[in-house]
Structure formats: C-alpha cells, structure tokens
Structure 1
C-alpha cells in the first residue's frame, strides 16, 4: 500500500468515488460519514492522510482537524470545501491543515495533491531522523570519556560552541579532532547550516586552490562549470580545515586574506564573493615549530588560533580505555550482529597496558577485529593482536601509574560494567549480581561506593 487515508464526508457519492479512485492507485482507504465517526477512527489507528469535508453533522472538519493535530501529529489533513467557504478553508490552513480542495472534486488533482503531501511528509521524517542521528552522534552527552582531561575538553567545547570565533584543534592522529569539530558546530547556533570538512593534505596541490576558493567555468583545463569553494558553499555554517599545516606556503597568503576580509575570489573570476562561515582547523603538527621553520605563516597561525583545543592522547586518559572499549564492543556487536557479552579482565589489563600509538582510532579497530573474529562469549586475551598480548604488564606504564590514577581507572571500569549489567537485567539487582559473579549484598555496597542511584 502507498499510504493509509481516512475519508470523512456526509455525502455517500463523494466517499464512494474517492475510495474507488484512491484504492485503484494503491491506497488503503477507510470511510466515515461524519466528524464524530472520524474522531473515533483516529482514536483507533493512525493514518497518513485525512480527507475531511468542512461541513458535516455532529463535528465539522475543523473539529476533526484539531483532534487529529492533538492525537496524531504526523497525520496530514486535507479539507474539502465549497467556493462559498474559502475563508473558512484559509482558517483551517492557519490552524494546521496541510491543504484544501474545492468542490466539485477533480480526482486527478486530488491524486496529485496527495502524492505531493506524502512526498513532503517523507522528506520531513527523513530530516527528523537525520537530525536525531546528528544530535545523538555529536551531542557531547554521548561522547565517551570521564577522565579529567576529557572533562576539560567538554567545558571548552560547550564554551566555544555558542561563538563564531576561529578554533584550532591540535592533537595526535586518531584522537578525534573532526568529531570535536562537528560537536562544536552541531551544538552551536550554526547547527542548521552546512558543516563541510576538507582534508588539506589529501588534495593535490594544483586543485586545492579551486577546492578552497572555487572557480569559474573555463578557468583551467577540466573546469567545465562554475564551482563554489568550501567557504561559500558552507555560508552560514562551518568549514573544517583538517591537516591545515599541509596547505602550500604560496596559498597561505591567499587564505589569510580570505579569512581577514570574509570574501573570496574564485579562480578565473573578476569579482569577490562575501561569505559568513566559521573556520575550525586541525593539525597533528606543532604549528609554532612550523612557523619557526618558515613552513607556516605566523600571521595565518594567529588568525586560525583564536582558541586552541589540545586533545589528550589515550596515554593521558588511560582511565577512559574501559569505557571506550565497552562502547566499541556494543557498537560492533550491533553492526556485525554478534553477541559478545563483555571483555575479560586479562584482555582489559593488556589494553590498559598497551601504548596506543594510533590513539582511539587504533583501539576501535582492535575491538572491531576482535568482535568479528572471536568465537567466545567474552573477548579474551587470545582475541587481541599479538602486539597487545605480548605487552609486559608488570613493566608497563599502566602499573607504573600512580595509585590514585589506577584506582580511578578501576572505579570507572567497575561503575560502567555494573551499569551495563543493570541495563541488561532491566534493573534486577539479584540477576545483575549473578551475572557479575558476586553476592547481591556486595553489589549494593559497590553501588553505594560508586555513587550509583537506586
């Protein structure tokens, strides 16, 4: 079926004719003869579209519309009206009707109106779903990490999100610089506008000027049409310049002028184009050292670095490793349709001891591989790559950490693991204690010590 439609009209001829036409097109139709019956039908099930006559016994079309808006907000209502009551139809539109159709009915027009409304509804639902996904992915309430280092980053992101100042994000590869840039954008006032990311190190040198600033048709071989650069294309939103240190020195002066003037001249153009775009840049290099070497302009550096966010390495936030590992375990259980229940203490100790040169990205890849290949109910030491299995835990940085940091890491792991078990058992503490292999009384003491609510 193409969609479900409720037809409410006190004229049997109109009900029957609409039903025949709509059913022939593949719609699921329900008919009622007055407004009271329409309200009863709405209470029993939901419809994609309601087609209601304006004047009906018991409850008129406006009453049906108001009830539908209150009890089935996703349903779209079309009002049928005669020429003499157009003013009332306009009133219905103001109250929330999706459309109105004049009598006598043109059935071809009715079909077109319905198809357009359903297509519009589909787009709205897709946009709503996309927005929910974006909010879920880039809302910092869902970013994994309870370490002090990450809490400082959260505070900085919250502070800069509401402004339009340029931000420079620094940190080693794999620490999540683009994720932080997106969080800044999607938690700020530009969230409804574009976020465009460009990797300055991945674009050939002869094309980067066109990518940044745009070009006119015929400006160079292969320029078959006009093209906006990222600054204009993201007008009102944010441009993320990843690996900004890789921009050639000869283009840096042009970029500086663009950032100062907030206008850009496309390659081959005679006029500048103004834009209102926030700039967030990122690098894994020491830009101050690049400036001293003459590889990066100091004036551009200061223009980009109004606010600097330095992301901690995984070594600086080891207490987050259990949280991250369990987060990735749940993620890849879902994506790979597996049901790995947890991570053994030996495997977790090895991961806590390992020096993650690839940072969070490497940890995620290791968990994905283990979930895919493991034949066990829990991820075991044997499921991890040899480089992690062979780490000497006794001599690792993990053991040499101060007692406070180690205790903190253990507490974070315990708290997260207990929360996971309680979630699995829908809050049944006896069952959670059984899965954890401890007495219920021990679980209660641990919950109290870790500050877990009842």
Structure 2
C-alpha cells in the first residue's frame, strides 16, 4: 500500500485529506508542523509528502529542501492558498512534483497524487537500473560517481559509449539517443546532464509515448487556470520546469505530426506561451530525445518531420544492447544483486557458475531492465548463498539449455546419412523457433505445425524438457 504523509497545521484539512485518501487505498499519516513531519520521515519511508506551504514553524520551500536532501526517493507536492507563479516555478526547480492552489478538488488532487507517485517510482527504479559506480578507465578522466546512476563498463561497446558521453556533455548540443527498449537511455541522458554546466539546474524527463493529442500542449507548455474546460488551476509545463536545465523527451517518435510542428516552433524560437496566456516565456533548455525506432525511416514514411529531426540531431549516440556488452553483464548483475539484498533484507553472495554462464549466453531482449527484474526475482527466491539456475525464469534457463544443445549438435560428428541429417535439421528448426517465441511452447507448436504433445516429446529427445 502506498504511503502518504500530509503536513498541514490546519487540522480539519489534514483530517479531510486523510479520510479521502484512506478511502482511495492509501496509507496516510498526518503532521501539523515541520518538526513533527521530519520525525515521521525519520521513522518510516513515504512515497509522497503533501505539504502546505505556510506552516507555523517553517514553510513549504524549506521543507522541500530538507526532504529532498535527506529523503530523495520521496515525492513532494506543495499545497497553498496563494497562487504565485514565480514561487511555483522555483519550487518545481527545487524538486517538487507539483504546486497546487486551494481549494482542492477530489479528482484533481487524486490524479496529481497518482501521477506524482508513478513519476517518483519510475525515477527511483531508474536510479537502480544501472550500476551506481563506474570502474576506473585507464587513460581517461573518471567523471561518474555514485549519484550519477550510470556505469559504462569495460567492454569495447561500453567504452565507446563513455567516450561519446564525455565528448558531448560539456556542450549545449541537442542529442538523440537511439537503442533498443531497456538499454538505459534515460540514465545516459542523466549522465550527460550531470556532467554538463547545467548539472545544478533541473533535469526533467517526459514520456512522449503516453501523451494524447489533447494533453500534449498542456504537458509541454502548461496552461492558465480557466483556459479550457477542466483547467482548474495553473499548470507549469515541462519546458518551463526544465528552464535552465535539461529536458529529456523519451519515445519522441510517438508524437503526432501536429505536436511535432508546435515543438519545432519552440525549439527554433526558444520561447513558449502557456495555453490561455499571451505572455511569452524565454527558454534556456538543452533537449535530449530518445527513441527505439529509426527516425530516418519515419521521415521517409511521413510520420516524423525532417526539420525537427535535424534540430534534435546535433549529436547522436547509439546505445548498445546488453547482449553486446560481454562481461559487463555480470557487473550489472552484481550491482542489482546488492540493491535487491538491501530491498529484501537478504544476504545472497553471488551467482553460481551455471547462472553466470546462462547470463552471458542469453540474448536479453529486454536489456538492462530485464536483467534487473530477473536478478530481483531470483534474489527473492534464493535461500542459499548463491543464486542457482532453478531461481531463473523458465525462458532464460531453457534458452541456456538450447544454446548448449545447439553447440553439442554442431560439435557431434555423425554419419552423414539422410536420417541423421533430417534429425539434425529438425532439432535446429525447433531450437530456432523456440528462441524466436521466447520458448512459448504453444506458439512454437503452432508455427511448427505440430501439437504441443509432439513438441514436448521432441524437446525431451534433445534434453530440453521443461
């Protein structure tokens, strides 16, 4: 159950909010002062703090700074009865998820709370998604530390990635990050930001894949209260939140053509207007975008604007898939194991030789994200000092068996008669299809045009029973 701490010296407001949020399946604590709120936070962890700006012993800005310094994994929303845009921008730059003016509307506050918790959860997971500390590179400046949430590794692909980051980070260039899903594009964007002159200013991440045409303008540029139906309060857009810092746009290829046109104007003019406002706001924002599709192909198909692409593409970095990082896979795995031990209060010491061989053999279609989830699950299931093969998901352990069997088949010298040739071709066909469908035996049987029982028998014959 998600935990929320309400900080408000008006007892009635705290009580009403507490009852409302409890009915909506949250675990709620209430504090009436800054001092008591910090005591609550010291005793247990909270997903979110709802803090009134004006308190008897402090104010929301001071509380926000303290919470973000001591409990960075906790989200913060500031609530106030006074609408002050300059203050709102300042608070968001200091790390607040949002700034909401009273009166509070149930649907509005619930929606904002859910978005804040989801955003903070994604940020916390991203901090754990890549190993925390990079190994030292001979002959190169080591620019990453524990707070940077990034490690390049020692493989040739990883060293090249590090080189590209070091090269572009000090500049003001816009950057396109390409690569498969789960390769850690947001972590790379954060590393670029933290090693740039903008590192003390905001880093704002935005998922373009979840944007609708109706919401895009408000999310990018913000809106004034009353500017359209449902605009119950003034909203600061992501561009304005990131002013002075870096705006990271993930899955940018999913944006509609109309939204791309609006973005092009903003990128060219470096100015925005909130919806419902005539006032222009100057921007000083570095833009980093990410995509797992080929934007050049999208341009040819008329789905992505070529002029916008060239505005973004001042520098590009292709992130290597995990399968190309060699022994770096175990660097990631061991880091995720340390994190999982802390989360689960376990003391698992490492991985068996069979598991390590399996990790290095598996193709990791989900990349770093998949590896993290596999290690966390295996840590939960392991009761010994080492993670064993049986703790891994079936598709991974079966994949390892298939690879071993494939190698065995290729090494075995058999009489080249038609029967053996036919059997070898059949085994290779089965292995190929199983890999293509991630060892989903129902799908494999359908593709191979045999029933599941026949497939099981053939898998058993080549020691692939699961």
Question: What band does the TM-score fall into relative to the shorter chain?
Answer: 0.5 to 0.7
Give secondary structure in 2 for the equivalent of 1:240. strand
| 1:139 aligned residue (140, 148, 152) | 148
Which residue in 1 is equivalent to 2:69?
127
Give secondary structure in 2 for the equivalent of 1:280. strand
Distance apart, 1:261 and its partner CA = 0.5
- Considering only aligned residues, what root-mean-square deviation do their CA atoms show, in Å? 2.9
Inter-partner Cα distance in structure 2 for 1:126 and 1:242 = 24
| 1:336 aligned residue (335, 344, 352) | 344
Give secondary structure in 1 for the equivalent of 2:316. strand
4+ long deviations beyond 4 Å: 119-126, 128-131, 133-138
Give secondary structure in 1 for the equivalent of 2:339. helix
5 Å-filtered alignment, 1:10-409, equals 123=65, 127=69, 136-139=145-148, 143=151, 145-391=153-399, 392-394=402-404
User: How many pairs does the alignment contain?
Assistant: 283
Structure 2: 5+ residue runs without aligned partners? 1-56, 73-94, 96-126, 133-143, 411-466
Inter-partner Cα distance in structure 2 for 1:256 and 1:154 = 30
Are the counterparts in 2 of residues 340 and 379 from structure 1 also a CA contact under 8 Å? yes
Are the counterparts in 1 of residues 253 and 293 from structure 2 also a CA contact under 8 Å? yes
Are the counterparts in 1 of residues 152 and 162 from structure 2 also a CA contact under 8 Å? no
Give secondary structure in 1 for the equivalent of 2:325. helix
Distance apart, 1:396 and its partner CA = 6.6
Inter-partner Cα distance in structure 1 for 2:383 and 2:213 = 47
Give secondary structure in 2 for the equivalent of 1:349. helix
Deviations 1:315-360 (A, max 9, x none): 2113211111111111111221111111011111111111211011
| C-alpha spacing 1:265/1:369, structure 2 compared with 1 (3 Å) | same
Are the counterparts in 1 of residues 152 and 159 from structure 2 also a CA contact under 8 Å? no
Deviations 1:34-63 (A, max 9, x none): xxxxxxxxxxxxxxxxxxxxxxxxxxxxxx
TM-score, normalised relative to structure 2: 0.56
Are the counterparts in 2 of residues 169 and 309 from structure 1 also a CA contact under 8 Å? yes
Are the counterparts in 2 of residues 349 and 393 from structure 1 also a CA contact under 8 Å? no
| C-alpha spacing 1:264/1:126, structure 2 compared with 1 (3 Å) | closer
Inter-partner Cα distance in structure 2 for 1:336 and 1:369 = 10
Structure 1: 5+ residue runs without aligned partners? 1-114, 401-454
Distance apart, 1:217 and its partner CA = 2.0
Deviations 1:1-54 (A, max 9, x none): xxxxxxxxxxxxxxxxxxxxxxxxxxxxxxxxxxxxxxxxxxxxxxxxxxxxxx
Distance apart, 1:144 and its partner CA = 5.3
Give secondary structure in 2 for the equivalent of 1:390. helix
Are the counterparts in 2 of residues 240 and 281 from structure 1 also a CA contact under 8 Å? yes
Deviations 1:122-158 (A, max 9, x none): 9569638859x99744537x51521111111111111
